[in-house]
Amino acid sequence: MIRNFTRCRISAVFLILLLTFACAGGYRGDRHKLSAGELKITNQIEQLAEETDGFVKQAPADLSNSLSGLSENTQRLKNNSLRFGPASLEARDALDKVRYHADRIERVVTKEKYPDLVSGWQKIRTDIDSISTQLGYRVGKSY
């Protein structure tokens, strides 16, 4: 009698868990569907991530500490944009950090110190500002 009760209880718990996962869409759930505007911004973010990685690879060793934060947060922005959408809180948090690191690097990469990196940096900075503007940020002010 006790065995039947235990089996019944285990079966009930298993059935509840199975129904919960079935109703919730499984472990992974449905991915956020991107609209046409979100897809455009996400493509720009992917391009920015590629450009940033290329810039980091060509930069001298003394800039590696400054650029590692930018590269890491650009990848985080890309991942969060693909996963949750570019206007999500997660993506905006990563964009805030990208903008912070960009402001810090802006002060370091100058024509006097790194003349060969300035044109590449200006392209990356323009892309960051473009993405920021599309997401409703004010551009042009360093805080």
**What is the predicted pLDDT for the residue at 26?**
46
Domain ranges of the chain: 1-30, 34-134
Q: Is the pTM of this model over 0.85?
A: no
The two tokens of residue 25 are: 């869409």
Q: Does domain 34-134 match CATH 1.10.150?
A: no
**What is the predicted pLDDT for the residue at 65?**
81
pLDDT band, residue 139 (cuts 50/70/90): confident
How far, in Å, are 24, 56, 64, 77 from residue 42 at the CA level? 27, 21, 26, 9
Helix residue spans in the chain (DSSP H): 2-24, 36-58, 64-84, 89-108, 118-134
9-41 pLDDT tens trace: 777 767 676 667 666 554 444 566 778 889 999
CB 85 within 8 A of CB 38: yes
